[in-house]
Amino acid sequence: MKLKVYRYHKNMENPRYDTFELELKPGLTVLGALFQFQQNFDDSIAFHYSCRGAVCGTCAMLINKVPRLACRTQVESLLNGDLKIPLSFYPAIEENVDWNPKEEVLVEPLPHLPVIKDLIVDMDKFFDYYKEIEPVFKPADSTPKKERLMDPESIPELELYTNCILCAACFGSCPVDGNDPEYLGPAALAKLYRFYIDPREANGIERIKTADMPRGWWDCKFHGNCRRVCPKDVPPLIAIAKAREQLEKEGEER
């Protein structure tokens, strides 16, 4: 099999692709293939990784034109066509690359973010939008002597959104983020909704009003790519739909 990797650094006029042939072994992940590329072909290749266990979100990149975590994506499954995901159009899907998906694994940087070098992107914009929604717990009461109790019935919905690992795969797959660089994006909005539904929170409706603007809740076009690529199955679309519904209800009551 072959690994085809996007290469770029600031002194290059145009990016290029390097191809490396390697032995396919059972259990080989894309991250493992990148290590082989680094060790046996070119040690200057740049990519991010950390936990290797799909919990830190560091190694998100565009793999066979789908944002995925390199540490959990099996090369054999890619070559067999087992990991195909139907996505709504966004430019990165259609960019012309000479690539044979039956014999090659194509690895590129995450879309919609500036490329620093090779597979490393500048995540500042993604985290700026995350900070903008103030992802900090704001308790409704004073500090308790032991702990803040919570109705067990509230936990399942809350856990849907606390599972987000901020890998930015949803951001990289979102057609709206591709067309509107100011859009807050699925991850930030899903996290904002997480605080809104937390029964221990103080601000209630004021939380979701933070994104009551064109580049917030109302910019989403419900393409659905965010849910399809999320490695933790976080459903931003549900959060966005419910937030819109609540804001419309609030407007009717005023």
What string of DSSP letters covers 22-78?
----TT-BHHHHHHHHHHHT-TT-----S-SSSSS-TTEEEETTEEEETTT-BHHHH
* pLDDT for residue 151: 79
Residue 148 in this model has a pLDDT that exceeds 80: no
Q: What is the mean pLDDT of the chain?
A: 93
- Whole domain around residue 45: which residue ranges? 2-120
Name the residue with higher pLDDT: 115 or 199. 115
Q: Is residue 217 within 8 Å of residue 208, measured between CB atoms?
A: yes
CA-CA distance, 81 to 96, in Å (whole number)? 20
- Reported as a single tens digit per residue, the pLDDT across 114-141 is 999 999 999 999 999 999 999 988 887 7
Q: What pLDDT band is residue 202 in, cutting at 50, 70 and 90?
A: confident
Residues 29 and 135 in one domain: no
Name the domain boundary from 55, 90, 120. Answer: 120
Residue 170's CB is within 10 A of a number of other CB atoms, namely 28
* pLDDT for residue 181: 93
Q: What pLDDT band is residue 69 in, cutting at 50, 70 and 90?
A: very high
Question: For 177-185, what is the mean pLDDT?
Answer: 95
Q: Is residue 170 within 8 Å of residue 228, measured between CB atoms?
A: no
Side chain identity at 86, as an amino acid letter? P
Residues 166 and 129 in one domain: yes
CA-CA distance, 126 to 188, in Å (whole number)? 8
Q: Which residue has the tokens 């994104």?
A: 211
Residue 142 in this model has a pLDDT that exceeds 80: no
* pLDDT for residue 42: 95
Q: What pLDDT band is residue 45 in, cutting at 50, 70 and 90?
A: very high
Sort 120 into a burial class: Cβ within 10 Å, 0-12 / 13-18 / 19+: middle
- Which residues sit opposite 16 in a β-bridge? 7
Question: For 209-226, what is the mean pLDDT?
Answer: 96
Q: Is residue 216 within 8 Å of residue 166, measured between CB atoms?
A: no
Question: Count of domains in the chain?
Answer: 2
Residues 137 and 225 in one domain: yes
Residue 201 in this model has a pLDDT that exceeds 90: no
Which CATH number characterizes residue 177's domain? 1.10.1060.10
* pLDDT for residue 30: 97
Residue 94 in this model has a pLDDT that exceeds 60: yes
Name the domain boundary from 120, 142, 157. Answer: 120
Residues 200 and 131 in one domain: yes
Question: For 148-174, what is the mean pLDDT?
Answer: 90
* pLDDT for residue 253: 59
- Which residues sit opposite 107 in a β-bridge? 5, 63
Residues 105 and 129 in one domain: no
- Which residues sit opposite 74 in a β-bridge? 29
* pLDDT for residue 140: 72
CA-CA distance, 220 to 183, in Å (whole number)? 8
Name the domain boundary from 120, 146, 175. Answer: 120
Report CA Rg, the chain: 20
Q: What pLDDT band is residue 95 in, cutting at 50, 70 and 90?
A: confident
Residues 152 and 214 in one domain: yes
Residues 136 and 80 in one domain: no
Question: For 96-100, what is the mean pLDDT?
Answer: 87
Which CATH number characterizes residue 35's domain? 3.10.20.30
Residues 69 and 21 in one domain: yes
Structure tokens at 82: 């087992």
Residues 110 and 45 in one domain: yes
